Amino acid sequence: MKNVLIPEAGNGMNFYRANLHCHTTISDGKKTPEEVKEMYTEQGYSVVAYTDHNVLIPHDDLTDENFVALNGYELNINDPFKYHAPKRKTCHVNFIALEQDNVTDVCYHRTAYAKGNAKLYRDQVKHDPDAPDYVRVYSGDGVSDLIARGRNAGFFVTYNHPTWSLESYPDYSNYNGMNAMEIMNFGCFNQGYDDDNGRVYDDLLNQGKKVFCLATDDNHNRYPDGDPLNDSFGGYTMIFAPKLEYREITKALEAGHFYSVQGTTSKRGPEFVSLEYENGKVFVRTTGVRKINLISCARCKDRMVVAADGETVNSAEFVLKEDEVWFRIVATDWEGNKAYSNAYFVKELDKK
């Protein structure tokens, strides 16, 4: 049976460009929430997840028929040992509320974590007044507990920028329960970090963790609009959903109905036209690119279609081997920008 993993646009399915990691003047960003909406809608975005540091502030007033503001926040858990801040490991996760009215901080602390502008908003954060302060612990169990709290309370939880965070396999391999991880973080990328995290994603998948992948801006807008170092518009997620409503968008996130793209401040990256699976075969269509790769858990040949110099390719067909448990697709244009599919587990597809 044919599995349509990324559908063609149309037939009741729409694609919405989204930035799922964003900072404003509520924490350490330089644009107000209203300015962020204006600049992103001008660039054709329909969704922004507002994820300021350590304070969950709703932005329902920004949502209208053409734009959805997702309510969320970013939580950091720092390694308290050995090093000062520039060399200290840290883990950052985003909580994005699945329901628009779910704005209770389930990891609230009355005095710790919020810094800078975020301190000014701490008293506005909804929380259980009878609950004890939640103390974050930098360890596999500590991070996994934080993730579980978010998931159990109705949040979509993402693991952010592992390269910038100085984390490696012994760290993130012990984190359990996340919905998604950042395969590419444009804000970190524009700071000079190699936050193109395909290998981290593969490590998690090889552990059997069924995790989605996101490309995000993580924008703070410290550079002027149009500056090549500006951290907006370079990492985005294409969400396919029947309509532009808060819960329809978060349902699509939960189901993995999206793919992610790396571009630049001035040029969008490659995109998928369709992705299908049927009886051990994978069929891919893209915009014109330099190459299309199938990546999996196995060491196999014939896993790439490449264009000749000066030309492009826009389709590929791959036959999976029996020992390939999961696969994902990466399409790369001549500028090196990428489109990333989520990973798909073969046994689950074969059951459908």
Whether the pLDDT of residue 83 is over 80: the answer is no
When pLDDT is cut at 50, 70 and 90, the band that residue 298 belongs to is confident
pLDDT tens for 317-330 read 999 998 899 999 99
| Domains of the chain with bracketed CATH | 11-267 (3.20.20.140), 269-352 (2.60.40)
If you average pLDDT over residues 163-183, what whole number do you get? 97
Whether the pLDDT of residue 85 is over 80: the answer is no
In this structure, of 92-101, 269-278, 297-306, 309-318, the range with the lowest mean pLDDT score is 297-306
When pLDDT is cut at 50, 70 and 90, the band that residue 20 belongs to is very high
Beta-carbon contacts of residue 319 (< 8 Å; ≥ 6 apart): 280, 281, 282, 302
pLDDT at 266: 84
**CA distances from residue 44 to 4, 15, 38, 48, 229 in whole angstroms, order as listed:** 26, 11, 10, 11, 20
When pLDDT is cut at 50, 70 and 90, the band that residue 96 belongs to is very high
Distance, CA of 191 to CA of 93 (rounded, Å): 19
Beta-carbon contacts of residue 11 (< 8 Å; ≥ 6 apart): none
Look at the chain and count its residues.
352
pLDDT at 26: 98
Whether the pLDDT of residue 133 is over 80: the answer is yes
pLDDT at 84: 62
When pLDDT is cut at 50, 70 and 90, the band that residue 110 belongs to is very high
Give residue for tokens 């040992």: 81
Nearest to 75 by CA among 128, 170, 149: 149
Are 79 and 89 in contact, with CB atoms under 8 Å apart? yes
If you average pLDDT over residues 275-291, what whole number do you get? 97
Distance, CA of 32 to CA of 322 (rounded, Å): 52
pLDDT at 82: 59
Are 262 and 235 in contact, with CB atoms under 8 Å apart? yes
**Considering the chain, what percentage of its residues have pLDDT values greater than 70?**
99
Nearest to 54 by CA among 132, 133, 131, 172: 133
Q: pTM here?
A: 0.96
CA atoms within 13 A on the CB side of 127: 21
If you average pLDDT over residues 75-97, what whole number do you get? 87
Nearest to 17 by CA among 231, 187, 271, 220: 271
Whether the pLDDT of residue 281 is over 90: the answer is yes
Nearest to 14 by CA among 254, 259, 243: 243
When pLDDT is cut at 50, 70 and 90, the band that residue 57 belongs to is very high
In this structure, of 66-70, 76-80, 153-157, 273-277, the range with the lowest mean pLDDT score is 76-80
Burial grade of 294 (CB within 10 A; 0-12, 13-18, 19 or more): buried
- How many helices (H) and strands (E) in the chain? 7, 18
Are 162 and 196 in contact, with CB atoms under 8 Å apart? no
N- to C-terminal Cα distance for the chain?
7
Distance, CA of 156 to CA of 271 (rounded, Å): 24
Phi-psi map region of 226: left, alpha, beta (phi>0 left; psi -120 to 50 alpha): left
Residue type, 94: N
pLDDT at 3: 94
Whether the pLDDT of residue 24 is over 70: the answer is yes
If you average pLDDT over residues 297-310, what whole number do you get? 91
Q: What is the DSSP letter of 309?
A: T
pLDDT at 249: 98
pLDDT at 36: 98
pLDDT at 86: 76
Beta-carbon contacts of residue 194 (< 8 Å; ≥ 6 apart): 163
Q: Over the chain, what is the mean pLDDT?
A: 95
Nearest to 268 by CA among 307, 217, 306: 217
